Amino acid sequence: MSAVLELRDLTRVHGDGESAVHALRGLSLTVSAGELVAVMGPSGSGKSTLLTLAGGLDSPTSGTVTIEGTELGGLSRKAAAALRRRSVGYVFQDFNLIPALTAAENVALPRELDGDGVRTARALGLGALPEVGIPERADRFPHDMSGGQQPREASARAIVGHRRLVLADEPTGALDSETGEQVLRLLRARCDAGAAGVLVTHEARHAAWADRVVFLRDGLAVDETGPLPDAESLLHASER
C-alpha cells in the first residue's frame, strides 16, 4: 500500500527562550492508503499539533510533512490551500460549520472554494448528504440542525470530492455514543474505500476502529500497537 501521509522527524516549538513549549519532538509517522491510524495520549502530548501540521494548517519547526508525495514545506500558502481543498478532509471536534451557509453549502464548501460553480458544488453537497443520512436537511442552516445532525454534516464536508486523507480531531468528543459511532463508521468506510485517516481521540473504544494506534507523550511517539479489539468488545470490557 502506498503512503498517503508521511511525517518525518517533526518538531514544533511554540514560543522561544524560557517560555518555549516543545509540542512535538522529532515525531515520525506514515499512514498508508486504506489505513486508519488512531492517535492517543494525554492532554498536551501533541495530538492536535500533529493534526494541524499534517493538514498543513501550521508549519513544523523542523522535519517534513509529505502528502501523496508532495512535501508541504515547499509549497506556497496558495498551493497548500489547494492541497487541503483537494486532498485533505478535516473533521473538527466542534464541527466548525459556517453559520451563514446551508448544510449543502457547508458540505460543498471545499469544492466551491476550488472553483466549482454554485450549482456544481451544490450538486456535490447534495450527493454527499445521503451518505451521512441527512439528505432532507440540505437547505437548513447549522443552527436549525440537531446536535446529532451537525457532526454528520461536518463529516460529509470532510469526505466530499474523494479526499485521500481524512484528519479527525476528537470528532466524537461532544456526541452521544450512537452519533459518535455513526461518525466513526463513516470514517472507517472512507478509509476502507482507499483513503488514509488519522483519528485523534482520548477514548480507547473509539481507537478500536483504527488499524493501529500511536501513543504520544510529551511530543514523542512512545508506543504503537496493532488493531485494538473491536469497539463492541472494548465497550463490554469497560463495563465489566
Partner 1 sequence: MRLTRGWRPALRIARREALRARGRSILVLVMIGLPVLGIVALDTLVRTVSVSTVEGLDRTIGGSDALVTYDGSTTAVDQTPDLSSRSGSAQDADPLPTPTVDTVRSVLGRRTHLAELLTGQLAVRTDLGLARPEAVGVDLRDPAAAGLFDLHAGRLPRREGEVVVSERLASRGFPVGSTMTLEAGPRLAVVGIVESTTTRGLSQLVGPVGPAIRAALGDPEVLERAWLVSRPGGVSWSEVRELNTHGMYALSRAVVADPPPASEVTAQDYSGSRVGSDQLAIIGLVVAMALLEVVLLAGPAFAVGARRQQRALALMAAGGAEPPHLRRVVLASGLVLGAAATTLGAVAGVGVAWLARPVVQGVSDTVLGPFEVSLRDTVVVAAAGLVSALLAALFPAVLAARSDVVAVLSGRRGETRPARWSPAIGALLLAAGVAGSAYGALRPGGGEVTIALAAILAVLGTVLVTPLVLGTLGRLAGRLPLPARFAVRDAARHRSRTAPAVAAVAATVAGVVALGIGGTSDAAQNRALYTPTAPMGAGLVQVFSQTPPDWTAVERVVRQQLPGARTMPVRGVQEGGTASYQVDLPVTTADDNFGWASNLGSSLLVGPAALRVLGLTGAELARARDALAHGDVVVFQPGEVTATTANLTVLSYPADGGEATEEGRWQLPATLVSVPGSSQPARAVLPASVARDHALPVRQTALVVTGTSISTTAEDAIDEAVGGLDESASLYVERGFQDDGTRVVLLVLAAIGAVLVLGGTLTATFLALSDARPDFATMGAVGAEPRTRRLVAASYAAVIGLVGAALGAAVGFVPGIAVTYPLTATSWAGPDATTSKGLPLPDHFLDVPWLLVGGLVLLLPLLTAVVVGLGSRSRLPMVSRLS
Cα–Cα distance, 178 to 135 (Å, whole number): 19
Report the chain's C-alpha Rg in angstroms: 18
The minimum distance between CB 145 and partner 1, in angstroms, equals 11
Q: Measured from the CB atom, is 1 or 57 closer to partner 1?
A: 57
Contacts (CB under 8 A) with partner 1, residues 27-66:
48, 51-52, 55, 57-58
By CB under 8 A, tell whether 125 contacts partner 1.
Answer: no
CA–CA separation, 195 and 224 (whole Å): 21
Among 85, 152, 164, 206, binds partner 1 (CB under 8 A): 85
User: Considering the rule CB under 8 A, would residue 77 count as an interface residue with partner 1?
Assistant: yes
How far is Cα 232 from Cα 139, in angstroms, rounded to an integer?
35
Which residue of 75, 81, 123, 204 would you call a contact of partner 1, by CB under 8 A?
Answer: 81
Segment lying near partner 1 (by CB under 8 A), choices 82-90, 130-138, 218-226, 231-239: 82-90
AA letter at 152: R
Select 84 or 205, whichever has its Cβ closest to partner 1: 84
Report how far residue 111's alpha carbon sits from residue 134's, in angstroms, rounded to the nearest whole number.
19
Describe the crossing of helices 103-113 and 149-159 by its angle, rounded to 10 degrees.
Answer: 20
- Residues of the chain by 3-state class (helix, strand, coil), percent to 5: 40, 25, 35
Contact flag: residue 70 with partner 1 (CB under 8 A): no
Could you say which residues in the range 157-216 bind partner 1, by CB under 8 A? Answer: 157, 169
In whole angstroms, how close is the CB of 238 to partner 1 at the nearest point? 27
Place of cell 452521544: 176
Q: DSSP assignment, residue 135?
A: G
User: In sequence order, what are the beta bridge partners of 74?
Assistant: none
Give residues in contact with partner 1 (CB under 8 A): 48, 51-52, 55, 57-58, 77-78, 81-86, 88, 90, 92, 94, 96-101, 105, 109-110, 112-114, 118, 143, 157, 169
